[in-house]
Amino acid sequence: MSGSIKFKENEIPTKNDFFSLFESTGWNDEYGLSGEELLECLSKSWYMVSAFDENKLVGFGRVISDGKLHALITEMIVLPVYQGQGIGKKILEMLTRQCQKLGIRDIQLFSAKGKAGFYEKYGFTRRSESGPGMELKFKPGKNCE
């Protein structure tokens, strides 16, 4: 990892910086979130880590949690040109260390398609088909009756 990468805890990135980083994943093609909506999401985080190369946001991870039993890593993003340099590893270590330090018993995460192997290297396991875990997706503005 480049020595110029600096990690900051619990500092919300600027709207434009985070929007650009989030857009680099392609996830926003489905979600269609604005910069303001993304900032609102970040403001509800329990713990977050930002990675900067000089003043450029190049990586980010965050956790939402009840602070005791469950924690959920919701985003782990490293700009594609910075992947493979240990930035994601460092962010994941910082996120899980914070959870463990406070005694959280269960850390879950969403894994982007094709990325499960990265998390398995750090002790995460895939849920079995018989294990719990479901999701409900909907588009804002649609009738939810």
- DSSP 8-state code for residue 94: H
Could you say which of 31, 47, 82, 119 is catalytic?
119
Scored b (16 or more CB within 10 A) or e, 12-44 reads: ebeeebbbebbebeeeeeeeebebeebbebbee
122 tagged catalytic? no
Give CA–CA dist 43/56, Å, rounded: 20
Structure token digits, residue 120? 């398995």
3-state secondary structure 3-56: CCEEEEECCCCCHHHHHHHHHCCCCHHHHCCCHHHHHHHHHCCCEEEEEEECCE
How many residues are there in the chain?
145
Q: Which residues are catalytic?
A: 119
